[in-house]
Amino acid sequence: MYFRIVYSMKRKNRIRKAAHRFLGLPDDLDPHLVQITWVGRERMLIEQHRGIIGFETDEIRLLSEQGEVSIRGSEMKLIELSDSRAFLEGNLQTVSFGVES
């Protein structure tokens, strides 16, 4: 049963991506891609995430449809958190992506 659900989700994602490409839409309009807006060195808006995996003052890890997003820095504060948006403030240094296998 689990295999069938995973397979159908992967198939649905392939169809969605193909339709998106066929219509010639920019990636910005894909509601399943995580979008990160980094303003200066101190603020960051992450949109279309799937939830928080972990949070500390030096690292926040978020889940996205593509895998894990890790933001590192120091004195980080979570200013806003909703179902699909997270707004961070602090001395932001790096963003890294872990691909879902």
Q: Are 54 and 61 in contact (CB under 8 A)?
A: yes
- Same-domain status, 42 and 9: no
- Same-domain status, 54 and 75: yes
Residue in the structure block whose two tokens are 């101190």 = 42
- Same-domain status, 22 and 35: no
Neighbouring C-beta atoms of residue 57, cutoff 10 Å: 11
Q: What is the pLDDT of residue 40?
A: 86
Q: How many domains, the chain?
A: 2
Give the domain range for residue 22: 1-26
* Residues across the chain: 101
β-sheet bridge partners, residue 24: none
Q: Which residues of the chain have pLDDT under 70?
A: 1-13, 27-29, 99-101
CA distances from 9 to 24, 37, 71, 79, 91 (A): 23, 28, 27, 33, 37
- Same-domain status, 58 and 94: yes
Give Cα 14 distance to the centre of its chain: 19
- Same-domain status, 45 and 94: yes
Q: What is the CATH number of the domain that holds 40?
A: 2.60.40.2000
- Same-domain status, 77 and 49: yes
Q: Say which residues have a Cβ less than 8 Å from residue 42's Cβ, sequence separation at least 6.
A: 89, 90, 91, 92
- Same-domain status, 42 and 72: yes
